[in-house]
A and B are shown apart, each in its own frame.
Chain A
């Protein structure tokens, strides 16, 4: 918590609109933005006139990947909202590029802003008045309370257990070094170099896996659970492919092709959906397919919203009615698919459902898909706490950033040990690693370390 370091945040509400803004404020706002900026005209943001907009790309220099096409607005102090240098990056591609841009800037030295921190700076630097600030105080109050609650929720279970194990491992190493430094008269043995390296390497591997699990779409996996259901061959997998705009599921004429659950992540106006394509529900004698059907039923149980697909080129049968029965008490959208095929066999009234929830689509002809997305979005959003979701995503980013920083410090520690550097230097870097992990699980104090020293080593005259 400082007033002059450079903070960054996604400053547009998450999940509303395809465009979003990542905002930086602080003395290094422009150099940090420059690190991720690639101009087709070879411009540098540091050389651009204040209060102008520049076109370019957001690029991860390390991996060379382009994250998004964007507009960079450079505003130099003092004529800015915070009275500090400010850069705003307008991204286009929705949630994922926004979060990736944010992570990239964090990796390049910026700090994730606390709730309301931009406005706080504006107030403390005399840019806005007390009345305006009051509103921000309320934001801090409500958001931090919520964020703290969510951070705790997220930490319960596996993640917290694994991080605590890690912290203990790293502290263990630190305790040994600290005891060795502070009690030269005692016969304290320092761990062998290869033992230390092994411990660090193990910790680093665990951290790496944790970071990867974030990369695999952790942000989104925890989003709204959406199940596509229907009897076989009504076009569920085609719908999935169509929604995610890639061929994720195998589609054939053959009923019962999808036997396991296929899941992918979809983002509608920034709303993260975990979308599940289920095996078609029908009586089957095939063991694999039977298992698939069982899982489909479970997926219905677990889902927040259901997309029930019906084939309007065929008459309604018992299997369809069974589906209707399954979604009775769930939030569901009824999708009447294949409306491109002329047929009078299907009568929607026979389903005996509220036709306000019906959407006519043709996956094949890409008809009604946009309307479907809007409908999914509005149905979902109706019941979701927006603030809670924002906090959720931000907490995730925070955690990932802390883990990445920890890995960096551990790599440095390995290097120092390999070079046989003195222990007080190794300890100082290990402490930085511990502080990073402490950002997730709570600070580790020198008292904690002393406690461990005294429980493990017999010290004293």
Chain B
């Protein structure tokens, strides 16, 4: 009765994606949450996507994940970022209705035949011979499973700070998980502590919108999901105002009251979402900082304020919030707060996100030291798929750094670890030109299809698209026009390469080819020379990745320094490619390893 294939602890963005993937792979899955009303809750900004994050959402979608689809259906605004730059760094961001998002997600999960949802607070993991076989809740109730995915977000020993007051909480208004982190420590997991925070929420009707710059979306959607063909949405704008001298004076005069600056917080903060205190103190020469007002939902009068996150006492928060233009009479619905929480050091995970220490436990999301809904969901997808693959005895899903941002993130986490909350950026991807939104399905669908995550029909459609793209490319190569400047005929292909022509501007092309193909071919042709260079580099590295490191390989090799040996034993890379990316591993160490790996070949199992 209470026996499952896979249990997912936590129903945030990581947990939902894990449960969705696992159950779609045929696993009897149990999704456990502290509060069923808060499935897929967005405790921070009401927005999904952004630079590199938008890429992640699309990659999740290519694997048949759910985040992109729910986002499309609950969107309030679409915006393509970086349109002044080239296609590789165009990224989609949406404002979403966070209440609708939750409802929809719950609805979709509830309708999966082999997914079960239950409210419970898990305190113990049941382990026998270093292998998981279930979990127990705080009332002693036992759920059994072959694999467990821990996706508990900021809930482990969560502690909220507002001014000099603290309150144990998973998120504002929700109780934390105290026993589980203790239990993980006892199992021998290395646990660290991070800090994050969120801005205040204001009553919309107390705001004077006439004083702001208005920020509209693009007016036309760029859907995240392959499944979204058409969807009506009403666009909601965002508004921009700025902090001023008064705001900054309020911060500087009250620093001693800030939780962050009074030394009460030990956790490492997120650099990408600095608190207002940090921004004012560290960049004193900046006379103003942006404040963005974003709608939380169509149905409520609640407004999210980005840029005013702080950990001041409520009385000072009130003054701070009323200092920017247009917010003079603003009323706080929920104050800003900072939160500290435990996370699991990610080098303890395999590239499948399974723990190295205990068989069958996977970790996904903010518990691995990341930040962001999209980062969490992407890990949830990887953990969900790999837990299922393990039970089904299928090969695991390993996404290469040259195949997707998901691969970049997971490899960074398990190979390098992170000493501050990790967020994805395009600059983390060495093959940025290869990893684009326009080619996401062409990069990843084959893998998704092999795992049974997308169906034959979709695969056929994608293959058809590739054929059409090829036809367009050939047309560009074979069509010559007169180049009046150079006084010689030139192919369309060449003109596009030089940036003198856009595919979309060729007469009649938009009638003959769909927009996504035009976009894709534009990128492929424009970047071609550079793509070829990056692909060559990828090939070079693939050589190293072909040399697998077997399980229990003995790193006690004379010629390897003790430091190098320790690092290798800690990370346990799966192949020489991964080994070469561990900080401090020299080329000569790799060279030596090559000999010893060749020597022991054929005699042992390859790891994971």
Interface positions of A from 108 to 156, Cβ below 8 Å from B: 114-117, 120, 123-124, 130, 133, 136-137, 140-141, 144, 148
Query: At the interface, yes or no: B472 with Cβ under 8 Å from chain A?
Result: no
Identify which of residues 444-474 in chain B touch chain A, using a CB-to-CB cut-off of 8 Å. Answer: none
**Cβ B274 vs Cβ A460 within 8 A:** yes
Tell whether B494 is near chain A: CB-to-CB under 8 Å: no
Judge whether A385 is part of the interface by a CB distance below 8 angstroms.
no
Q: Is A16 an interface residue (CB 8 A)?
A: no
Evaluate whether A181 and B430 lie within 8 angstroms (CB atoms) in the complex, with A1-B544, A124-B594 already known.
Answer: no
Q: By the criterion CB–CB under 8 Å, are B279 and A178 in contact?
A: no
Asked whether A3 lies within 8 Å of B543 as measured between CB atoms, the reply is yes
In the complex, the answer to whether A428 meets B432 with C-beta atoms within 8 Å is: yes
Cross-chain contact A1 with B590 (CB below 8 angstroms): yes
B89 proximity list for chain A (CB < 8 A): 181, 423-424
Q: Flag whether A65 is at the interface (Cβ < 8 A).
A: no
Q: Among A141, A182, A419, which residue has its beta carbon within 8 angstroms of that of B427? A: A182
Partner of B306, one of A117, A425, A461: A461
A458:B286 contact, CB within 8 angstroms: yes
B82 near A419 (CB under 8 angstroms)? no
CB-CB under 8 A for A428 and B433, given A124-B594, A181-B427, A459-B272: yes
Collect the chain A residues with CB atoms within 8 Å of residue B540's CB: 2, 5
How far in angstroms is the closest Cβ of chain B from A409?
A: 11
Q: How far is the CA of A144 from the CA of B595 in the complex (A)?
A: 15
* A1 and B591 form a contact (CB under 8 A): yes
**Quick check: A461 and B307 within 8 Å, CB to CB?**
yes
Contacts of B594 in A (CB 8 A): 120, 124
| Interface status of B292 (Cβ within 8 A of chain A) | yes
Q: Mark B424-444, 1 if CB is under 8 A from A, else 0.
A: 011110101100000000000
**B588→A181 contact, CB < 8 A:** no
Is B486 part of the binding interface, using a Cβ–Cβ cutoff of 8 Å?
no
How far does the alpha carbon of A137 sit from the alpha carbon of B592 in the complex, in Å? 7
Q: How far is the CA of A75 from the CA of B168 in the complex (A)?
A: 73
A1 touches B595 (CB 8 A): no
Let me know if A182 and B52 touch, CB within 8 A: yes
In the assembled complex, A187 has its CB within 8 A of some CB on chain B: yes
Asked if A460 contacts B273 (CB within 8 A), the reply is yes
Task: Report B-chain residues with C-beta under 8 Å of the C-beta of A420.
Answer: 499
If A1-B590, A144-B588, A421-B499 touch, does A123 touch B427 (CB 8 Å cutoff)?
no
Chain A residue contacts of B292, Cβ below 8 A: 185, 461
Q: Would B307 and A184 count as touching, CB distance under 8 A?
A: no
Are B598 and A182 interface neighbours, CB within 8 A? no
**B587/A431 in contact, CB under 8 A:** no
B86 within 8 A of A: yes
Interface presence of B534 (CB below 8 A): yes
* Chain A residues, CB < 8 A from B433: 424-425, 428
With the chains together, A137 CA to B598 CA distance in Å?
13
Chain A residue numbers with a CB within 8 Å of B427 are 178, 181-182, 446, 449-450, 453
| A420 to B51 alpha-carbon distance, docked (Å) | 22
With A3-B543, A422-B85 known as contacts, the answer to whether A446 contacts B428 (CB < 8 A) is yes
B81 within 8 A of A: yes
Nearest Cβ distance between residue B318 and chain A, in whole angstroms? 20
Q: Which residues of B contact A115 (CB under 8 A)?
A: 588
CA distance A346 to B277 in the complex (A): 89
Asked whether A114 lies within 8 Å of B588 as measured between CB atoms, the reply is yes
Identify which of residues 259-273 in chain B touch chain A, using a CB-to-CB cut-off of 8 Å.
270-273
Q: Are A460 and B81 in contact (CB under 8 A)?
A: no
Question: In the complex, what distance in Å separates the CA atom of A114 from the CA atom of B591?
Answer: 9
Interface contact A425-B590, CB-CB below 8 Å: no
CA distance A54 to B432 in the complex (A): 45
The answer to whether A181 touches B598 (Cβ under 8 A) is: no
Residues of B contacting A419 in the complex (Cβ-Cβ under 8 angstroms): 499
| Alpha-carbon separation in the docked complex, A187 to B290 (Å) | 9
A460–B416 CA distance with the chains assembled, in angstroms = 24
Interface contact A133-B595, CB-CB below 8 Å: yes
Residues from chain A with Cβ under 8 Å of B588 in the complex: 114-115, 140, 144, 148
Question: Are the C-beta atoms of A2 and B544 separated by less than 8 Å?
Answer: yes
Chain B residues contacting A422 (CB-CB under 8 Å) are 85-86, 499
Known: A1-B590, A140-B588, A140-B591. A181 touches B543 (CB 8 A): no
Query: Which among B416, B433, B588 has the highest number of chain A CB atoms within 10 Å?
Result: B588
Contacts of A429 in B (CB 8 A): 530
CA distance A185 to B213 in the complex (A): 14
Nearest CB of chain A from residue B536's CB, rounded to whole Å = 9
Q: Is the CB of A181 within 8 A of B51?
A: yes
Task: Flag if A2 contacts B543 (CB, 8 Å).
Answer: yes
Please tell me if A52 contacts chain B, counting CB pairs below 8 Å: no
Give 8 nearest A-B pairs by CB, closest first. A422-B86, A144-B588, A458-B283, A461-B306, A141-B559, A178-B427, A2-B543, A460-B274
| Sample (9) of A-B pairs whose CB atoms are under 8 Å apart | A1-B587, A1-B590, A124-B598, A185-B292, A423-B85, A424-B89, A424-B426, A431-B430, A454-B272
- 4 new A-B contacts, CB < 8 A, other than A120-B594, A424-B432, are A2-B544, A123-B595, A133-B595, A458-B286
Residues of chain A having any CB pair with chain B under 8 Å = 1-5, 114-117, 120, 123-124, 130, 133, 136-137, 140-141, 144, 148, 178, 181-187, 419-425, 427-429, 431-432, 445-447, 449-450, 453-454, 458-461
